[in-house]
Chains A and B, each alone.
Chain A
Amino acid sequence: MLKVENLDVWFGDPPDRVHAVQGATFSVAAGESYGLVGESGSGKSTILRAITGLASGWSGRIEVGGEVVSGGHRSRNFHRSVQMVFQDPYASLHPRHSVDRVLSETLRLQGMDGIDGRITRLLEAVGLGQGFRFRYPHQLSGGQRQRVAIARALAAEPRLLLLDEPTSALDVSVQAEILNLLSDLRRERGLTYVMVSHDLAVVAHMCDRLAVMRSGQIVEEMEAASLRSGRVGTPYAGELLAASSSYRREAG
């Protein structure tokens, strides 16, 4: 479904050029869920942005569903099959557009018909009733907003969803609801996920395989099961695992 080969992403011009991603290579099969973990600045979100064409300077090869993309331009077909959900649902929803407008605009842009019926079905799919249809973002809780953002991503009937820290702005109880929703949607619709998160437990719960990133490079690829059992291949992955699983008081 997704093949990334030798991806380099940079920002700025020399001599101040920053190489955010260097030589990243991974592939994700259709129906699989793949995680990218690492600390802030490790380049995990930048990979998603390069895939969707939001990062202008990149080289390497990105293939989505058999289609090789180039530069910052993406075809109509690409936007139909790939959608992204961002971390902060408040920042990613227009504050003065109602849920109805957000969804109908997206559907119209995708050239869909029967928009009214589709909105009803989308809201149902993400567990929001019709009562939410004419609300504005400020009238929704964080979890409800993220549900709207997911509904918007689903509007195009994509096959690949790029999830950039979809629950890190939410309370743990709401996080559980959203993660369950994402699991259900993947099963029902046969979706492929690439999920970026700093939370190893969330990635282990959601993904089959994952890549550990550090300063722009993928240092290790592993199965979620290996992460759970602590069978990691590189010292850095081990450190990350130890640091995130516990805080230990100094002896004495």
Chain B
Amino acid sequence: MTAPLLSIRDLRVAFPTRQGVFEAVRGVSFDLGRERLGVVGESGSGKSMTGRAILGLVRPPGKVTAARMELHGESILNLPERRMRALRGARISMIMQDPKFSLNPVMTVGQQIMEAYRLHSGQGGRMARDKAMEMLNAVQIRDPERVFHAYPHEVSGGMGQRIMIAMMLAPDPEILIADEPTSALDVSVRNEVLRIMDRLVAERGMGLIFISHDLNLVAQFCDRVLIMYAGRVVEEIAARDLHQARHPYTRGLLDSLPRLDHPVSRLSVLERQPSWRDEEIATPFPGGL
């Protein structure tokens, strides 16, 4: 087996509160290879916080600790901000849920992609412009010349998300963390955006961490899935086996979804067990890596 791109052991994110220390992430461990890794769970399960911790985006007083957090065998845990900035974007990138809040409203799309590229590659204007056009083509924007000169408010949500992907990919990162990248999009646009990410993983050998609350989507799109509950991974499973998941929490989530092919008069409701917070995970690490 080849060495993982990213290796994480016992990741913890803690926030001091008036009621004591609150741990948002409580001992998450996984390795990421050149694959699509899904991270699912409900809001508050710590899935986004795990993504932010990897990028060093947890703000004080939040504290990130880990037994190991390595990119290609090199520790990236709590790097000084200056070194983290060199890493962030260039080697690990993140796509957020809503492009409206992630794009600069007073800069044209082209300028923003060029800026992202110039900052990380140190290349000049001409190169950056070519790269920006190439990226817009790569995310299948039909009229890249027009979009290059457009402002974010002049493009649709699906287009905005493709622009975000173009911007994140310009510096050729090794790892892409996508936090609910398609939740704000319509289904038809969603599938296009997924196909673009899919191709990029296949062609560039990128590692993708796909954070989502949508179990069906993750089952179809990813290779492997981590299910998070209360800051921990409770189950790890191959995506194609997700519908045969064993952990009662995963089962509960799956059963609470209304399904077109299986009418029920009442939806089943998740009965949370206190034991899920702390018991051993269903497929203990390092099971199926």
Cross-chain contact B259 with A201 (CB below 8 angstroms)? yes
By a CB distance below 8 angstroms, the chain B residues around A206 are: 258
Among B191, B256, B260, contact of A176 (Cβ-Cβ < 8 Å)? B256
Cross-chain contact B215 with A172 (CB below 8 angstroms)? yes
Cross-chain contact B260 with A180 (CB below 8 angstroms)? no
Cross-chain contact A201 with B260 (CB below 8 angstroms)? yes
Cross-chain contact B256 with A247 (CB below 8 angstroms)? no
By a CB distance below 8 angstroms, the chain A residues around B216 are: 246
Cross-chain contact A201 with B221 (CB below 8 angstroms)? no
A205 to B: closest C-beta gap in Å: 4
By a CB distance below 8 angstroms, the chain A residues around B252 are: 173
In angstroms, Cα B270 to Cα A177, docked, is: 9
- Would you list which residues of chain B between 164 and 196 have a CB under 8 Å from chain A? 186-188, 190-191, 194-195
Cβ of A204 under 8 Å from chain B: yes
- Would you list which residues of chain A between 17 and 33 have a CB under 8 Å from chain B? none
Binary flags per residue of A223-252, CB closer than 8 Å to B gives 1, else 0: 000011000000000011001111111100
By a CB distance below 8 angstroms, the chain A residues around B253 are: 172-173
Number of inter-chain CB pairs below 8 Å: 84
Cβ of A69 under 8 Å from chain B: no
Q: Do A179 and B267 contact each other (CB < 8 Å), given the known contacts A172-B215, A172-B253, A204-B258?
A: yes
Chain A interface mostly helix, strand, loop or mixed?
helix
Cross-chain contact A250 with B266 (CB below 8 angstroms)? no
By a CB distance below 8 angstroms, the chain B residues around A213 are: none
Contact-residue size bin, chain B (C-beta under 8 Å from the other chain): 20 to 34
What residue in chain A is nearest B255 (Cβ atoms)?
A176
Q: Do A172 and B213 contact each other (CB < 8 Å), given the known contacts A243-B187, A244-B187, A250-B198?
A: yes
Contact-residue size bin, chain A (C-beta under 8 Å from the other chain): 20 to 34
By a CB distance below 8 angstroms, the chain B residues around A220 are: none
Cβ of A202 under 8 Å from chain B: yes
In angstroms, Cα B261 to Cα A244, docked, is: 13
In angstroms, Cα B195 to Cα A177, docked, is: 33
Cross-chain contact A227 with B260 (CB below 8 angstroms)? yes
Cβ of B268 under 8 Å from chain A: yes
In angstroms, Cα B188 to Cα A198, docked, is: 11
In angstroms, Cα B265 to Cα A173, docked, is: 16
Cβ of B269 under 8 Å from chain A: yes
In angstroms, Cα B268 to Cα A174, docked, is: 11
In angstroms, Cα B157 to Cα A177, docked, is: 30
In angstroms, Cα B213 to Cα A142, docked, is: 15
Q: Do A228 and B260 contact each other (CB < 8 Å), given the known contacts A172-B213, A177-B269, A198-B187?
A: yes
By a CB distance below 8 angstroms, the chain B residues around A173 are: 42, 252-253, 256, 269-270
Question: What is the interface of chain A, defined by CB distance below 8 A to chain B?
Answer: 39-40, 142, 171-177, 179-180, 183, 198-202, 204-206, 227-228, 239-240, 243-250
Known: A179-B267, A204-B263, A206-B258. 6 other contacts (CB 8 A): A175-B256, A176-B268, A176-B269, A180-B266, A199-B258, A204-B258
